[in-house]
Amino acid sequence: MQIDYRDHYVSTRGREQNITASQAIIAGLAKDGGLYVPSFIRNCHFDIQSLMSKTYSELAQTLFEAFLDDFSPEQIKVCVHGAYQTGLFDDAKCPVKVQKAKDRYFLELYHGPTCAFKDMALTILPHFMTKAVDIQNVNREIIILTATSGDTGKAALSGFCDVPGIDIIVYYPKDGVSAVQEKQMLTQGGKNTCVVGVRGNFDDTQNGVKKIFSDQALNAKLEDQGFLLSSANSINIGRLLPQVVYYYYSYCELVRNDAIQCGDPVNFVVPTGNFGDILAGYYAALTGLPVHRLICASNANRVLTDFFETGEYNRNRDFYKTMSPSMDILISSNLERLLYDVSKDTDQVSDWMATLQEDGHYTIPEAIKAKTRKIFWGGCADETQTAQTIADMFKKHHYLIDPHTAVASHVYDEYLKNTADETTTVVLSTASPYKFANHVYRSIFGEIPEGLNDFDVLSALSAATDTAVPKPLADLANRPNRHNQVCSVNEMDRSLQDFLTRIKA
Ligand SMILES: *Cc1c(COP(=O)(O)O)cnc(C)c1O
């Protein structure tokens, strides 16, 4: 493998260059408003055959040594061990599972402490952050500021809980997450955690967080108080890199199980919201993984489906609340990283993002669109199709999937109808069906029996499907709430300051 470290990480908007991994992880977002990208990625190549005998942790070690340019192999080892080998995941040997159902493989990414794929990255990000703080000799307290559409919040709270030198505040759309997701967050322990419901949808919440990051006066004031803001959202490169690992791992699993020969191309279908997970798949493809298609699956909020079809990104449209809330997103932040890679033009990227901010839409030229369509294919599922897919997968194939995964599985059906492509395909399974037990139960069995509350449904689903409620969700209903704050979008900075005052006290 050859790596060209000359340019390290750069901002997609071109005003920052030569940033190292530790600097990018601490900063989260670039100062020019852009996202950090590894400028050396096209010089980075992994030989699949040489990865075949590696465990998940060994594979992670190899990839991180290439990407984390100023971390030592020993530091990386400590991070990987802390995340994947200390019993946080169901199986201490491997955090993910590959299962075949129907004619496709499901890559189950939800066997971590909060039952969603966000755990894959958020169990290791706190370790990256702690090491990055050492490398950069930061002597301020890090404040992790996070907007969540449901799953990131809990996974980040769980990952950063009681980590010395770091505090975390999570904002979520008050009526935009599932009952289980909300309860998971509100019951979070730890002296360094804070959870705030925001009156608005996810995009409002994410914009509120971005505003706090770019508020110079507020940031100066925080610096005086000894604080430094950072992010656990997928805009942080430290979130993205751990997601590259499981694309490689699932490929190696398919080879080991004789589903494919080493070197054969595969497709990945990815239930997409902020475009982080699927972008990690793109990075895997750029660095040598034989990927034929990355199939981008959206729910009724089909802004990305339209983008790949027409080349116009347009957020001026109705916003739908669906049963796959982690994908109820009209501004997919990580798309900016793809635009950077296909255009290689930071002025263009800056223009598009400015136009998006001002007018709510932008259009990429035909040549750029053609480049994206070489590998990406976009599709979507409405609520009826999602429910039908959950029911079919269980009734015909005895496999229980959550609504996000069902969106992806439906989009793969559409893809097959449209293309007749016979490439072996992996569907990324991003959440435990028990996180969305209400919808899953209703999709398969019809109305929920009277008198059952949101948490009783977990046991009902377990009994009806003969599957187990995951441990982290089993006694959730009985845990006391520890957070109860609600605010408007304009009050988000105020609640941050209140939290910091409490921490200082
Ligand atoms: C976050 C999330 C997604 C979307 O992932 P992105 O990286 O935001 O595209 C899909 N499914 C579930 C369950 C999630 O939590």
Question: Nearest Cα to 243, choosing from 273, 287, 276, 207?
Answer: 276
- Structural contact between residues 61 and 78, judged by C-beta atoms closer than 8 angstroms: no
Query: Measured in angstroms, how far is the CA atom of residue 221 from the centroid of ligand 1?
Result: 34
Which atom of ligand 1 is closest in space to residue 151's alpha carbon?
15
> Is residue 273 lining ligand 1, measured as CB closer than 6 Å?
yes
CA distance 435 to 404: 11
The candidate with the shortest Cα–Cα distance to 281, out of 262, 263, 294, 292, is: 294
How far is 202 from 175, CA to CA, in rounded Å?
Answer: 10
275 Cβ below 6 A of ligand 1: yes
Q: Say if ligand 1 is within 6 A of residue 274 CB.
A: yes
Helix axes of 335-343 and 366-375: crossing angle, nearest 10 degrees: 110
Q: How far is the CA of 328 from the centre of ligand 1 (A)?
A: 10
Is the beta carbon of 57 within 6 A of some atom in ligand 1?
Answer: no
97-114+240-434: CATH topology: Rossmann fold (3.40.50)
Q: How far is the CA of 287 from the centre of ligand 1 (A)?
A: 23
Per-residue pLDDT, 6: 56
Closest ligand 1 atom to Cα of 280 = 7
Strand order in the sheet with 376-380: 97-101, 104-108, 425-429, 266-271, 291-298, 376-380
User: Of all residues in the chain, what percent are helix, strand and coil, respectively (each to 5)?
Assistant: 50, 15, 35
Distance (angstroms) between ligand 1 centre and the Cα of 274 equals: 7
pLDDT of 462:
98
Q: Is the CB of 284 under 6 A from ligand 1?
A: no
Cβ proximity of 24 and 36 under 8 Å: yes
Residue nearest to atom 2 of ligand 1 (CA): 326
- For residue 405, what are the contacts with CB-CB under 8 A and spacing of at least 6? 106, 271, 427, 428, 429, 430, 431
| pLDDT score at 3 | 43
Cβ(337) to ligand 1 under 6 A?
Answer: no
Could you tell me the distance, in angstroms and rounded to a whole number, from the CA of residue 451 to the centre of ligand 1? 31
Per-residue tokens: 457: 């449904």
Count the helices and strands in the chain (H runs, E runs): 22, 15
Sequence-separated (6 or more) residues with CB below 8 Å from residue 198: 171, 172, 173, 174, 204, 205, 208, 486, 487, 488, 489, 492
DSSP string, 95-135: S-EEEEETTEEEEE---STTSBTHHHHHTTHHHHHHHHHHH
**Do 237 and 69 form a contact (C-beta atoms < 8 A)?**
no
Q: Distance, CA 326 to ligand 1 centroid (Å)?
A: 5
Domain definitions of the chain by residue range: 97-114+240-434, 437-473
CA distance 54 to 81: 15
Largest CA distance in the chain: 64
**Cα of 355 vs its chain's centroid, Å:** 25
User: Ligand 1: does its nearest atom lie under 6 Å from the Cβ of 118?
Assistant: yes
The ligand 1 atom at the shortest distance from the C-alpha of residue 404 is: 11
pTM of the model: 0.95
How much distance in Å is there from the Cα of 405 to the middle of ligand 1? 10
Residues (pLDDT < 50) of the chain are: 1-5
Position 475, amino acid: D
User: What pairs with residue 105 in β-bridges?
Assistant: 100, 426
Rounded CA separation 203/284 (Å): 28
Q: Is the distance from the beta carbon of residue 67 to the nearest atom of ligand 1 less than 6 Å?
A: no
Residues 252-265: tens digit of each pLDDT: 999 999 999 999 99
| Nearest-angstrom CA–CA distance, 109 and 37 | 24
294 pocket-lining for ligand 1 (C-beta < 6 Å): no
**Which tokens hold the place of 171?**
């904002």
16 CA → ligand 1 middle, Å: 28
- What pLDDT is stored for residue 4 in this prediction? 47
